[in-house]
Structure 1
Amino acid sequence: MHYRLADGVNLEVISSSKFKLNQILINFATPQTVSNATSRHLLANLLETSTNKYPTQTALATQLAKQYGTDISVGVSRLGQLHCVRLKASFVNDQLAQTDLFNQAVTMIKEVLFNPLATAGQFDGPTFDRQATNLKATIKGYYDDKQFWAARRLLDLYYQDGAVMQVPSFGRAQEVDQLTPASVYQAYQDMLSNDRVDILFLGDTAEQVVKDAFTSLPFTGRTRTSLPIMYQQAGYRQVQRQVDYRPVSQAKLNVAYQLPTCQDKQQYYTSLVFNDLFGGSPYSKLYLNIREKASLAYYASSRLLPFNGLLTIQAGVNSVTAHRVEKMIGEQLVAIQQGQFTDDQLTEVKRGLINQYRSGNDLAGSILGRRLTNRLLNFPDHDGAELIAAVTKDQVVQVAKTLTKQAVYLLSGEI
């Protein structure tokens, strides 16, 4: 059932006795800007590790442990051009625990969200400094992985200068030092007052009890009830190219293709099928023809960002054969555009996606993630397995024909 607790504050209750743990997901969404990702990531870390009542990470963890190991985490993510701060909570359902863990969990969520370790309009200084240092180290650590480095450099090359999408959802290490306890507290107030809020509950608690509990949280109405998610930038006339040289044993070839954003659920699932046929599965053309048959890549796969109008390809190659691999990638796309794949290949790809979708129904986190995405996109509830099964060969060909190469990044091992 769906409820509007206030303007821009929504609750969905999914009643189920299937899982031993009840799950809560609270999503705060706002359009990403060039400056808000880093502060919101630091904010998430501050909320997760301390409150006024439980001022240290140890004190907070001890209290949660007393509640049969209730877990509360706060992190960031991005959907299209929306930046999201997400609180997730899991706890034993009341029938198994034989105590009122649901209301205890909601009380702890209220403490985390509405009673942070802050006074006089700013976060606690020592706690802020510690979490800022940790965040810088975490972000810098991401880039130690050369595969991650190459993927990020491709996105820097693809997204146009000044585009908010150049900024990762986790922020930038160099921006952390510009933040203060007061500026992040202002970001916190803005999030609580202005972000669209979607609350999802999955578990075995009476629906009215769930509604009453979340109605009691001090959320107020806000104007951000519907937000622009899709991001589609103007295409380049010429493919953007960049080569960097590092002492790596394996070169990283990354390619970006633009395609239309997915405006409805059928287009979304057709694009998923195309991606799995192209490079997203062990049955894909990139995997079978470039890695297995030609032995020109240590790995070769594609990733679809359906709400960004972007498909990226990652391949581990030898520097001397990188150009040949890039050419073969284009040839695999042309083959799909010309319908050069069998009905059996299409069936195998769809079967794999259907199995993934159905297995996701056994994972509480997957169920909540799908429901949240549908709510933000205003998609009606649907059976994804049926929509995948309905995808035709002609539909896949038509999606393939919309792709245009936009950027190529090579992290070369030659110096």
Structure 2
Amino acid sequence: MFQTISIAKGVNIHVNQTTQFKTINFSVRFKDRLTKEKASARSILANVLQHSNEVYPSHTALRMVLDDLYGTSLYMDSTKRGNEHIVTLNVETVNDEYLSETGVLEKVMNLMYIVLFKPNFEDGLFKPSIFEREKSSIKQRIESLFDEKTRYAQQRMLEHALPDHPASISPNGTIENVESITNELLVAEYRNMIEENEIEIYAVGDIQPEVVSAYISEYFHFGNREKPAAAPLSELKKPKEPHVLEFEDMKQGKLHMAFYTPITFRDEKFPIMQLMNGIFGGYAHSKLFVNIREKESMAYYVSSSYASQFGLLFVLAGIDANLEEKAVKLILEQLDEVKKGNISDTELDQTKALLTNQMKEALDSARGQIEIYDQYMELSHSFAPEDVITRWKNVTKEEIAEVAQDISLEMTYFLSGKGEDLNE
């Protein structure tokens, strides 16, 4: 799918030359170790670099040049995956081959260079008004989590269950961490990102790998960087409290359950766990949805999700406060059904079909191809989607029941409305 070219130690270019799209998509990914402090600093940094630079100091000025480049889109974001924090520059532009004008790609490369290498500095620091504005923006982003009670409840559960674990670190860090970031610290983080981070650069479109490599080498003078020592495996320790009850001013109760599994993304049984999650609660035909929401009509929503980087399985349900005990009992009964191998042909076949369709749909977009390859590249540089689909196809009910045996409930967290009678 992708051809890889190394242009410096720790800096790789991955190109999928394809006529599938009329645009060219770029993704420049800076990867560093995940900590609360780095998450906050790098989230602010992504905002600062996106919205202002030396040549185009305002968002309006940048927007105008993007419009002139046939509606090129450019944005930066920050996220986490496993033990990594990732800052990404994403660009989508028209392919010169479909224009009467030439040189658009080179202008886009120059713009990417400006965004990354020409910050809006004033006396060696980021322009104070820009720094303060984007710092405030990240604080507001973190604060907005409180208004989305399902996400808030999930974060609170993780903080209780795994307080010092990467799984509980927000991609934006915390309000306290954001407030502690000074302009000087942000400049230091910027230098670290440009000079020391591992960098993976992706390009998808009808363009030759040699051409991409030449442009990147010409505009982005990335030097060698040492690959950091592998982060130690983050051990899943038993929570201090197996059950936590908290209250907020809200009507619908939020039930969140954390299960541990020894199978992670790097395990050969990972595809089996994907199917197990789909059958258990990942889709509308799953056991949780059919038996708890449809048959029992006791959940506004219910589903499971598999955080494969950490070996975590979550169940989320919206229920009335007085139904927590009954809901937990029913959820565990559905898990027991999977452990016993009581899986219908329909459940298995539909889950395989949906996972396959999701993979194929992702491959229909350039951004999806980049996301999939960037993740699976951790396992093999010769990754082929067909191999994953074939692996799903060959999984049996017995294999699914086997991996389910080692899934254990470690915490139940319930976020209830204030003043509700939980014993009604």
TM-superposition CA deviations, 1:154-203 (whole Å, max 9, x none):
1111213x334432012212322211111111111111111110001001
Partner of 1:398 in structure 2?
A: 402
Partner of 1:121 in structure 2?
A: 124
Partner of 1:136 in structure 2?
A: 139
Percent identity over the alignment is 27
From 25, 33, 53, give the equivalent of 1:31: 33
Secondary structure, aligned partner of 1:177: helix
Secondary structure, aligned partner of 2:108: helix
Partner of 1:348 in structure 2?
A: 350
Matches within 5 A, 1:201-350: 201-216=203-218, 217-224=220-227, 227-228=230-231, 231-236=233-238, 240-264=242-266, 266-350=268-352
Secondary structure, aligned partner of 1:341: coil
Runs of 4+ in 1 over 3 A off after TM superposition: 162-165, 225-228, 263-266, 376-380
Partner of 1:179 in structure 2?
A: 181
8 Å contact 2:36–2:177 — kept in the other structure? no
For the aligned residues, what is the CA RMSD? Answer: 1.8
Partner of 2:172 in structure 1?
A: 170
Partner of 1:155 in structure 2?
A: 158
From 112, 115, 135, give the equivalent of 2:115: 112
Gaps of 5+ in 1: none
State the distance in 1 between where 2:268 and 2:391 align.
6
Change (3 A) 1:168 1:238: closer
Partner of 2:422 in structure 1?
A: none
Secondary structure, aligned partner of 2:224: coil
The structural deviation recorded for 1:6 is: 0.6
Bigger drift between 298-307 and 239-248 goes to: 239-248
The structural deviation recorded for 1:146 is: 1.0
Gaps of 5+ in 2: 420-424
Secondary structure, aligned partner of 1:27: strand
State the distance in 1 between where 2:184 and 2:361 align.
45
Secondary structure, aligned partner of 1:73: strand
8 Å contact 2:32–2:84 — kept in the other structure? yes
State the distance in 1 between where 2:31 and 2:143 align.
25
The structural deviation recorded for 1:134 is: 1.5
TM-superposition CA deviations, 1:79-99 (whole Å, max 9, x none):
111111111110111112332
8 Å contact 2:161–2:241 — kept in the other structure? no
From 402, 405, 413, give the equivalent of 1:409: 413
The structural deviation recorded for 1:206 is: 2.5
Secondary structure, aligned partner of 1:410: strand
State the distance in 1 between where 2:224 and 2:252 align.
53
From 69, 72, 78, give the equivalent of 1:70: 72
State the distance in 1 between where 2:361 and 2:28 align.
23
TM-score by length of 1: 0.95
Partner of 2:200 in structure 1?
A: 198
8 Å contact 1:34–1:163 — kept in the other structure? no
TM-superposition CA deviations, 1:338-396 (whole Å, max 9, x none):
10112232111111111111122211111110111122444631223222212221221
Bigger drift between 271-280 and 369-378 goes to: 369-378
The structural deviation recorded for 1:405 is: 1.0
The structural deviation recorded for 1:400 is: 1.0
Secondary structure, aligned partner of 1:170: coil
Partner of 2:389 in structure 1?
A: 385
Bigger drift between 120-129 and 375-384 goes to: 375-384
From 95, 98, 103, give the equivalent of 1:96: 98
